[in-house]
Amino acid sequence: MNTEKVLNFFREITRIPRESGHEEQIVAYLQRFAADRGLECKTDKVGNVMIAKPASKGYEDRPTVVLQGHTDMVCEKKSTSNFDFSKDPIHYVIEDGWMIAHDTTLGADNGIGVAAAMAILDDDAIAHPRVECLFTVSEETGLDGARAVKKGFITGKTLINLDDEDEGYFCVGCAGGNDTIGTFTYREKNLQPGAVVTKFTIGGGLGGHSGDDIDKGRINGVQQIARFLHEIWPCHVDLCEVAAGNKRNAIARGGEAVVAIPARSEAKVVALFNDFAARLKAEYAVTDPGLYFEAEPVQWQKGAIDRATARRVIQALISIPHGVAAMSADIPGLIETSTNLASVKMESGHKIVVGTMQRSSVNSQRIFLSQRVASVLELAGAKVRQSDGYPGWKPNMNSHVKDVCVASYKRLFGHEPVVRAIHAGLECGLFTEKFPDMDMIAFGPTLRGVHAPGERLDLASLDRFWVVLLDVLKNL
């Protein structure tokens, strides 16, 4: 099936800056798209866009279908890249049947879903009932756009979310999530006379999606930079600066720390770092083969974090749980509960901010895990705040749209697809709260490496996804 129209729209989308919270240009692009085609279009106060198209001839009596995707993307890049997500177009290549962005995220999560909906709106030859294409904002920072959707903004009772990442799978449930954030306040102290200031860097981790990839055993840059600092602390070093990780829903690929070392301990600290690097390379040889380690002297004109606070921060970062906390007892292979130690950053006002995210398909377990993380941070002296979170999506195995999707896939390809729930968060959980009678499913083409540089789209899977989507619309 020719998906060139879908790809053409996606290529246009890759040229539009659309980091979460900064979707103004993609919103304007969608509004122009609708106006140029005389389609019904409305935009709410947060930037969600709904574009509707009347039913094809012969489909006027069928129920309206909502096609839904999010317009924002996770903006991650390699530490060596000078890419500016606020203005630069995404650079991608086609290699071995994959569309790949080597140095940044590609934004196929969820730009390819947006492009597929646009291709349906653009093509009068496609058979479909009335469609309402809902494009939400700020999905990646807490599903904020979906949270803001008001009753009446969409009217359809069947929703197809285009944000799943494994072709041949139909998603009927997902985890809920929330953030737990700890803020430490420190006092700046003077450096020890004669101290040598060195920046230690851990880089090259694969990272990935904190839901889909949390079970892969990949290195966590936040925890490992803290582990190194813990090992050298007896050398009476001072911590000047620490930074690791970035987005709440991405696994930290590396980290760095600026350390003031007493001159008498410099050789010992460097030797410890080299030994530490060798151990980590061995520990993560399979999961993160591209790890690299650097130690370089730096000119430092400021002071350091007071030792008591620095020690408490290091201990907290080592102690906060990270990874899978529980597997589902009901669905074999499904991660039930997890937590991501996402980031540590220094902010103005002498503050050190630690970001974490908890997920679970069991709401009470997510709350309990959040309490555990918060307790570690509070015991270490941090001020803790938690987001309201978003609910999970409970599977409905009697879903009509699920049955249509499964039948379409089996008819087209001759074998059963996989029906599953996932550990990542989808906006469907919030839509369940707002529209209790909504029948929903999620599916999409195959993506790999989302939320990290190297994100890629399998073009053959895009063809199969497109065939199924059109057949489902024809048969709903």
> What φ, ψ does residue 351 adopt, rounded to 5°?
-120, 145
CA distance 69 to 421: 18
> What φ, ψ does residue 11 adopt, rounded to 5°?
-60, -40
In which residue are the tokens 């999530």 written?
Answer: 177
Angle at 350 between CA 349 and CA 351, to 5 degrees: 95
CA 211 to chain centre: 8
Q: For residue 139, indicate whether it is catalytic.
A: yes
CA distance 466 to 2: 9
Q: Give Cβ neighbours of residue 9 (< 8 Å, ≥ 6 apart).
A: 114, 115, 118, 119, 122
CA distance 337 to 326: 5
Q: For residue 388, indicate whether it is catalytic.
A: no
Residue 194, number of CB atoms within 10 A of its CB: 10
**Are 33 and 135 spatial neighbours (Cβ–Cβ below 8 Å)?**
no
Inter-axis angle of helices 221-232 and 307-319, to 10 degrees? 130
Catalytic residue among 109, 132, 139, 144: 139
CA distance 400 to 158: 9
In which residue are the tokens 């996402």 written?
Answer: 342
Distances (CA, A) of 333 to 157, 216, 356: 31, 13, 24
> What φ, ψ does residue 127 adopt, rounded to 5°?
-85, 130
Catalytic residue among 23, 72, 140, 439: 72
**Are 404 and 475 spatial neighbours (Cβ–Cβ below 8 Å)?**
yes
Task: Verify cis geometry, omega within 30 degrees of 0, for the bond prior to 110.
Answer: yes
CA 238 to chain centre: 34
Tokens of 403: 């049955």
CA distance 141 to 72: 9
Per DSSP, 330 falls in state S
Angle at 448 between CA 386 and CA 369, to 5 degrees: 25
Distances (CA, A) of 41 to 98, 121, 135, 152, 162: 33, 12, 11, 14, 20
CA distance 161 to 146: 12
3-state SS assignment for residue 298: coil
The catalytic residues are 72, 139
